[in-house]
Structure 1
Amino acid sequence: MTLQTFLADNIRYLRMQKTQLSQEKIAEAIGITRDRYSKYENGKVSLPLEVLVALSKFYHLSTDLLLTVDLRKYRLEEMVNLPDNRILLPIKTDEMGENKIEIVPFKASMGYLMSYADPDYIESLQTMSLPFLRNGKYRAFPVEGDSMPPHKDGAYIIGRYIESLNDIKIGKTYIFLTHEGITYKRLSAVQPTALEVMADNSFYKPYNILLKDLLEVWEFTSSIAVEESQQNELLLDNTTIIKMFNEIKSDLSKLTS
């Protein structure tokens, strides 16, 4: 299927299913003749950029979406907009109406980096449902390493999609998708051009994620352990106890000041 045919199918589908308007009404809304619009919808001629933009504004859909996604496969009312004019993120539900949470495979997490904006790839991921996770778009990501205890290597973090960086909060933990890969860290500071993140394991030093390299942010909502914790792993060392005591002391001082 050519790009011209793909786009023609999309605008015909939108007109008939979303607006149920005539070709004449759509043409009038975007400032062209019915005859001219009909040729675009039938795929007889290429759609000029100015008409593409006009249709994008009319339907409140990104040009990227109109050009690259088969809209007949997805319910538009169950989608969440991605920033930077990227394609939409479908929210899938099961037979009971619960959100389907896509699971990013542990062994293929780098494949997600290459295909996170491809609806067909997202459609291929296995899913699960958790009844207490509602009102948002959720996805499960694998955790690697020992930087964020008690989450062990191989555990899964379920994150809620963050649509705007204005919604992130210092002190909370997030899954960050960058050009380098997927990382789970605690947000420690927000800078004009970067986010400072840190591990809960003090062995690792804080570092910056440049905003220009940031692709997606998912806020921690819950986790799934795939291995049982050992008893000695739950014991706190003296350094940790002293740190916790000092933090409590500091908080109490703020409350009484």
Structure 2
Amino acid sequence: MTSAKHFFGKNVRFLRERRKLTQEDLSQKLDMTRVKLSAIEAGRTENPASNDIILFSDFFQISIDTFFRVDLSKLSELKIRDLEAGNDVYMTGGSLRVLAVSVDKANKENIEYVPIKAKAGYRNGFSDPDYIATLPKFSLPTVPQSGTFRMFPTAGDSMLPIPEGADVICEFLEDWTRIKPGTLCILTLKGEQDLVFKSVTIDLEARTFCLHSLNKAYSPYEVAVSDVLEVWKYHSYQSRDVPEPLSDIQNVSKSITAILSRLERIEHKID
């Protein structure tokens, strides 16, 4: 039986270089010989001493399980900072959910685009860095630098007035328990649906997501929390469609809203 591959030595070197420390710098900080540190980084120490493992974990603020199991060089800077801040579920004995992302030459996260042809395979490949690497990538100045964003194509008319075929940009949510009722999200689901774009309300007691379409012709439905693989919060959308001209009723409604808004401002000035 072959031993499982681990990334301990590679991760030590990666984290050391990320902090711009020489081997001599780090060995002094850890009260360790440079020769021992060099051997660990090179993978020549097959079974590092437990005391040394704890030293590295405490110094870099990365859990021991993550140190061994996850190739940190494959993660974005944002995710590494998350781990250093203590947002590492291995610390609490859970199972690490590593979001696969790609980065540009400046180590900034790209926005990956999931084309229609790739949607069918996304459910199986969403956590695979090799699969994510095959997706088209771009950046937008209007999207915040913090956070992880992805673009998904929409189909059908269940989310009108957002046009059919629009491309929706969303932000990845690690903690979906705090989203407000009625938040627009794209969910990656188990089963036949794969990706759905809905207004989401969570029932934590029942452990269900209640999904509503903006188009009232579609009835709401529920999915179990256990069937949800990812939650992406709506940020914006892009579409080639030109909006329909406003109807006479819509124009009247818009004018009334504008008048009421002016009256409210006048009242505030008088008060």
The answer, yes or no, to whether TM exceeds 0.5 is yes
1:226 Cα offset (Å) = 4.2
1:113 Cα offset (Å) = 1.7
* CA–CA distance in structure 2, aligned partners of residues 60 and 111 of structure 1: 35
Counterpart contact for 2:161–2:215, Cα < 8 Å: no
1:222 Cα offset (Å) = 1.0
Counterpart contact for 1:79–1:90, Cα < 8 Å: no
Matched with 1:184 is 197
Paired AA for residue 104 in structure 1: V
Q: Is residue 22 from structure 1 mapped to residue 13 from structure 2 by the alignment? A: no
1:156 Cα offset (Å) = 1.1
* CA–CA distance in structure 2, aligned partners of residues 94 and 39 of structure 1: 30
Q: Is residue 147 from structure 1 mapped to residue 158 from structure 2 by the alignment? A: yes
Q: How far does the alpha carbon of each residue in 1:85-129 deviate from its partner, in whole angstroms, 9 at most, with x for none?
A: 22255574688x986321111111132222222334333322233
**Counterpart among 208, 213, 219 of residue 199 in structure 1:** 213
Counterpart contact for 2:189–2:229, Cα < 8 Å: yes
Q: Is residue 210 from structure 1 mapped to residue 224 from structure 2 by the alignment? A: yes
Over 3 Å counting, the alpha-carbon distance change for 1:189 and 1:50 in structure 2 is same
Matches within 5 A, 1:1-257: 4=5, 6-18=7-19, 20=21, 21-23=25-27, 25-26=29-30, 39-44=39-44, 45-46=46-47, 55-56=56-57, 58-61=59-62, 63-64=65-66, 67-69=69-71, 71=73, 76=77, 81=82, 85-88=96-99, 90=101, 92=103, 100-134=110-144, 135-180=146-191, 181-192=194-205, 193-227=207-241
Give RMSD over aligned pairs. Answer: 4.0
Over 3 Å counting, the alpha-carbon distance change for 1:57 and 1:124 in structure 2 is farther
Q: How far does the alpha carbon of each residue in 1:66-93 deviate from its partner, in whole angstroms, 9 at most, with x for none?
A: 534361x666357675875222555746
Over 3 Å counting, the alpha-carbon distance change for 1:189 and 1:46 in structure 2 is same
Counterpart contact for 1:142–1:157, Cα < 8 Å: yes
Over 3 Å counting, the alpha-carbon distance change for 1:226 and 1:93 in structure 2 is same
Paired AA for residue 69 in structure 1: D
1:184 Cα offset (Å) = 0.6
Paired AA for residue 224 in structure 1: Q
Over 3 Å counting, the alpha-carbon distance change for 1:139 and 1:57 in structure 2 is farther
**Structure having the higher Rg:** 2
Which residues of structure 2 form unaligned runs of 5+?
Answer: 90-94, 254-271
Q: How far does the alpha carbon of each residue in 1:132-167 deviate from its partner, in whole angstroms, 9 at most, with x for none?
A: 221432210111222111234432111122231243
Counterpart contact for 1:174–1:218, Cα < 8 Å: yes
Paired AA for residue 42 in structure 1: A
Paired AA for residue 222 in structure 1: S
Which residues of structure 1 form unaligned runs of 5+?
Answer: 242-257
Matched with 2:260 is none
Matched with 1:245 is none
When normalised by structure 1's length, the TM-score is 0.68
* CA–CA distance in structure 2, aligned partners of residues 195 and 57 of structure 1: 38
Q: How many residues align structurally?
A: 229
SS across alignment from 1:185: strand
Counterpart contact for 1:176–1:218, Cα < 8 Å: yes
Over 3 Å counting, the alpha-carbon distance change for 1:75 and 1:36 in structure 2 is same
- Identity over aligned residues, as a percent? 28
1:6 Cα offset (Å) = 4.2
Q: How far does the alpha carbon of each residue in 1:198-239 deviate from its partner, in whole angstroms, 9 at most, with x for none?
A: 1122333222232223222111111122455677xx879xxx
Counterpart contact for 2:152–2:169, Cα < 8 Å: yes
1:36 Cα offset (Å) = 7.0
